[in-house]
Chain A
């Protein structure tokens, strides 16, 4: 069986680059959506806020500065080929070393504390990363990394809906969550929704949904329609850019789904600010035989 050998240093360098890049360079999908919103926004204050966000993101890219001071907690979605062998170290260590270097050498803010309740001491290097790994068939490692800010993370919610709630119940929970968040998560937001699976799978899918470009739709036309309808309903709420009023409260709604149990219909809503940061890369190794 052909395997591929990937050096731990390749993983570290890739993670470092992805985290620095995503904090400096906003995705084209988001920039296009901001410019489109600027054209269509009817609130003068909202228009002014959008203009400042666009200018900010342009300055960040030109000067290679983080677009937001909250450079987030590092979250990675990894598709790990089952024929990959890591040389000279462990995968997890290599990822955390990449986080350490990105946040140190990239002048990103270290925002992680060691213990959630008692100590709350800053780890000073933004580790550990939150790593979601899926073993796939293949001999490469594909990584999508992002820095997740907590102004919006704190506005997220999960609910264990049951089947009788149906489509309407799902939509209502998503709208209620966005409404409760109001002006706080730095609108215009990206709404990531995970439906199905178990408690933790729904949450993971919701995060994954925020990492999907907003100019794409769910491949199932029924969910794609739900994405469009929810976006329209959210933009009718009036919160607007920075929550100061307007018709641009969200830039996109992305839904990801999973098979679930006969008794359940979990729904998780992960809210992301307009600085929706993520970047992807594939690492290939050198061949080898076992």
Chain B
């Protein structure tokens, strides 16, 4: 079954989500990856005010390719999430509701998801041209000098993703592969 969620995501939506659910997101999300996370994190460490309000938001770990003429955005698939593990718990404690990326997360991030009743979605790595079809517009919010790594706002329509870690801490990367494992190697 596919669940449809209109953003901003509500606590009730998150409560209903279970690891493994297929989800289509519609509304607005923000983007950020390595360099932007490093800047936001360092700013937080110094007690500064963030240039973007992350409360209640979902952040998509992506560095898009440039848009060809006639396209709203360029190909924009997820990047590996573990590189943001160092920064994610602090952002969640500040009110970030969830993340969209790909791949496994650290125990610290899983704990932060449970503590803050958040969610971790994954999009399909390497399906960038397909995923971009569900992104209708983009706007740069800050860190424009970072180019592809700038923080953007995307308006998405039926953005396809899967719940990888739910608010109870269930984790598809832990539960699913063993079901298909046929040797001890």
Q: Which residues of A contact B (CB under 8 A)?
A: 42-43, 45-46, 49, 52-53, 55-56, 59-60, 63, 65-71, 107-111, 120, 122, 124, 151, 154, 175, 179, 182-184, 186, 233, 236-240, 242-247, 273-275
A-B contact pairs, 21 of them (CB 8 A): A45-B176, A52-B124, A55-B127, A56-B131, A60-B75, A65-B132, A67-B75, A67-B128, A67-B129, A68-B75, A68-B125, A70-B79, A109-B64, A120-B35, A122-B148, A183-B177, A233-B185, A240-B177, A244-B176, A273-B126, A274-B126
Contact A45 B63 (CB under 8 A): no
Question: With a CB–CB cut-off of 8 A, which chain A residues contact B146?
Answer: 122
Q: Could you tell me the distance between the alpha carbons of A67 and B160 in the complex, rounded to whole angstroms?
A: 17
Question: With a CB–CB cut-off of 8 A, which chain A residues contact B75?
Answer: 60, 65-69
Among B127, B130, B147, B178, chain A packs the most CB atoms within 10 A around the CB of: B127
Contact B63 A70 (CB under 8 A): yes
Q: Could you tell me the distance between the alpha carbons of A56 and B80 in the complex, rounded to whole angstroms?
A: 19
Docked complex: B60-108 residues within 8 A CB-CB of A: 62-68, 71, 74-77, 79-80, 82, 102-104
Q: Could you tell me the distance between the alpha carbons of A68 and B128 in the complex, rounded to whole angstroms?
A: 5
Contact A243 B103 (CB under 8 A): yes
The 6 lowest CB-CB distance pairs between A and B, nearest first, are A245-B176, A238-B181, A186-B125, A238-B180, A56-B130, A238-B177
Q: B46 at the A/B interface (Cβ < 8 Å)?
A: no
Q: B45 at the A/B interface (Cβ < 8 Å)?
A: no
Contact A151 B80 (CB under 8 A): yes
Question: With a CB–CB cut-off of 8 A, which chain B residues contact A184?
Answer: 80, 82, 102-104
Q: Which of A49, A109, A233, A238 contacts B63 (CB 8 A)?
A: A109
Q: Could you tell me the distance between the alpha carbons of A107 and B125 in the complex, rounded to whole angstroms?
A: 19
Question: With a CB–CB cut-off of 8 A, which chain A residues contact B80?
Answer: 151, 154, 184
A53-B127 contact in complex given A69-B74, A108-B65, A120-B35, C-beta closer than 8 Å: yes
Q: B30 at the A/B interface (Cβ < 8 Å)?
A: no
Question: With a CB–CB cut-off of 8 A, which chain B residues contact A46?
Answer: 180
Interface 0/1 of B142-170, CB less than 8 Å to A: 00001110000000000010101000000
Contact B68 A69 (CB under 8 A): no
Q: Could you tell me the distance between the alpha carbons of A273 and B20 in the complex, rounded to whole angstroms?
A: 22
Determine chain B's interface SS by DSSP, over half rule.
loop
Interchain nearest-CB distance for B12 vs A (Å): 25
Q: B122 at the A/B interface (Cβ < 8 Å)?
A: yes
Q: Which of B68, B164, B181, B183 contacts A65 (CB 8 A)?
A: B68
Contact B173 A107 (CB under 8 A): no
Q: In this complex, what residue of B is CB-closest to A60? A: B129
Q: In this complex, what residue of B is CB-closest to A63? A: B129
Docked complex: B20-73 residues within 8 A CB-CB of A: 20, 35, 62-68, 71
Q: Could you tell me the distance between the alpha carbons of A242 and B125 in the complex, rounded to whole angstroms?
A: 7
Q: Could you tell me the distance between the alpha carbons of A246 and B176 in the complex, rounded to whole angstroms?
A: 8
Q: Which of A42, A124, A151, A240 contacts B147 (CB 8 A)?
A: A124
Q: Could you tell me the distance between the alpha carbons of A107 and B172 in the complex, rounded to whole angstroms?
A: 35
Q: Which of B74, B82, B127 contacts A52 (CB 8 A)?
A: B127
Contact A186 B126 (CB under 8 A): yes
Q: Could you tell me the distance between the alpha carbons of A206 and B77 in the complex, rounded to whole angstroms?
A: 26
Question: With a CB–CB cut-off of 8 A, which chain A residues contact B160?
Answer: 52
Interchain nearest-CB distance for B139 vs A (Å): 18
Question: With a CB–CB cut-off of 8 A, which chain A residues contact B125?
Answer: 68, 151, 186, 242, 273
Q: Could you tell me the distance between the alpha carbons of A263 and B103 in the complex, rounded to whole angstroms?
A: 38
A246-B148 contact in complex given A56-B129, A70-B63, A120-B35, C-beta closer than 8 Å: no
Q: Could you tell me the distance between the alpha carbons of A256 and B125 in the complex, rounded to whole angstroms?
A: 27
Q: Could you tell me the distance between the alpha carbons of A131 and B98 in the complex, rounded to whole angstroms?
A: 41
A45-B182 contact in complex given A68-B77, A107-B67, C-beta closer than 8 Å: no
Question: With a CB–CB cut-off of 8 A, which chain B residues contact A238?
Answer: 176-182
Q: Could you tell me the distance between the alpha carbons of A116 and B126 in the complex, rounded to whole angstroms?
A: 25
Q: In this complex, what residue of A is CB-closest to B179? A: A245
Contact A236 B183 (CB under 8 A): yes
A59-B129 contact in complex given A69-B63, A110-B148, A184-B82, C-beta closer than 8 Å: yes
Q: Which of A66, A183, A240, A247 contacts B103 (CB 8 A)?
A: A183
Contact A65 B173 (CB under 8 A): no
A242-B176 contact in complex given A56-B127, A56-B129, A59-B129, C-beta closer than 8 Å: no
Question: With a CB–CB cut-off of 8 A, which chain B residues contact A246?
Answer: 180
Contact A237 B68 (CB under 8 A): no
A122-B103 contact in complex given A49-B124, A66-B129, A238-B181, C-beta closer than 8 Å: no
